[in-house]
Amino acid sequence: MADLADDIVVAPDERLKTECARIEEITPEIRALAERMAEDMYATEGCGIAAPQVGELVQLVVIDCDYVDSDNRNPYVLINPEIVVADGEEHELSEGCLSFPGITVRVSRPSHVIVRARNLDGDLMQYEARDNLLAVCLQHEIDHLHGVTMIDHLSASQRMVALRDLAAAKAAGARPGETA
Ligand code: NI
């Protein structure tokens, strides 16, 4: 069986720095892409994944912050997601990313967000999260659609350390889904 972690684009890669295109129509290809991303996310035990992380430069995100085992999967599929509110106290938390195997970094983000996105049925959905993993995950994944990754939130010197650690982790064989 092929290792689904091989499907993940790993930094540094220009595809992770690219503004993704809005999805104009929910085609069978988009549905298949969402399914592929969900499979990759569960296989690598991530809580979210963005389309550029599998090399597709479109505004599609899959998130599941709730699942604890394979019997309890409830993936949210977000098409063209937009953060309409980001406020509340900034919280600094450790984040990992499937595209940065073997490292975590401390990122400060607003603690409350409201996000609007279409689902696979084309319905406009609204998601609100406060002080939890979902609040972080929504911001982290939506960043990916605009060519922004977690290390872009760091200072230049912190970013250099993170990239050095990433190179070392990759050299030591770290795989997507593994964090320090
Ligand atoms: Ni990520």
Q: Which helix (H) or strand (E) holds 89?
A: strand 76-95
pLDDT given at position 45: 87
Quick one: pLDDT band at residue 68, thresholds 50, 70, 90? low
CA of 62 to the centre of ligand 1 (A): 11
Rounded to the nearest angstrom, the distance between the alpha carbon of 27 and the centre of ligand 1 is 25
pLDDT in tens, 72-98: 888 999 999 999 999 999 999 999 999
CB 138 within 8 A of CB 46: no
Q: Residues 6 or more apart from 69 whose CB is under 8 A from it?
A: none
CA 125 / ligand 1 centre spacing (Å): 22
DSSP 34-64: HHHHHHHHHHTT-SEEEGGGGT--BSEEEE-
Average pLDDT over residues 39-61: 95
Ligand 1 mean position, distance from CA 142 (Å): 9
pLDDT value of position 118? 98
Tokens 């250099």, residue located: 160
Report the pLDDT value the prediction gives residue 4, as an integer from 0 to 100. 80
Cis omega (within 30 of 0) on the bond before 12? Answer: yes
Phi-psi region of 16 (alpha: psi -120 to 50; beta: other; left: phi over 0): alpha
Categorize the per-residue pLDDT at 67 as very low, low, confident or very high, splitting at 50, 70 and 90: confident
Mean pLDDT in residue range 53-63 = 98
Cα separation, 83 vs 148, in Å, equals 14
- Residue 56 sits at the vertex; the CA angle it makes with 4 and 67, to the nearest 5 degrees, is 50
The pLDDT assigned to 172 comes to 96
Chain-wide mean pLDDT for the chain? 94
Determine the pLDDT at residue 1.
Answer: 39
Predicted pLDDT of residue 66: 81
Task: Give residue 53 CA to ligand 1 midpoint distance, Å.
Answer: 8
User: For 12-28, what is the mean pLDDT?
Assistant: 98
Catalytic residues: 141
Is the separation of the CB atoms in 52 and 145 below 8 Å? yes
pLDDT reported for residue 2: 55
Q: How far is the CA of 144 from the centre of ligand 1 (A)?
A: 7
Amino acid, res. 142? I
* pLDDT per position as a tens digit, 100-131: 999 999 999 999 999 999 999 999 999 999 99
Calpha distance 22→173 (Å, rounded): 35
Question: Domains plus CATH for the chain?
Answer: 3-171 (3.90.45.10)
Mean pLDDT calculated for residue range 15-21:
98
CA of 99 to the centre of ligand 1 (A): 6
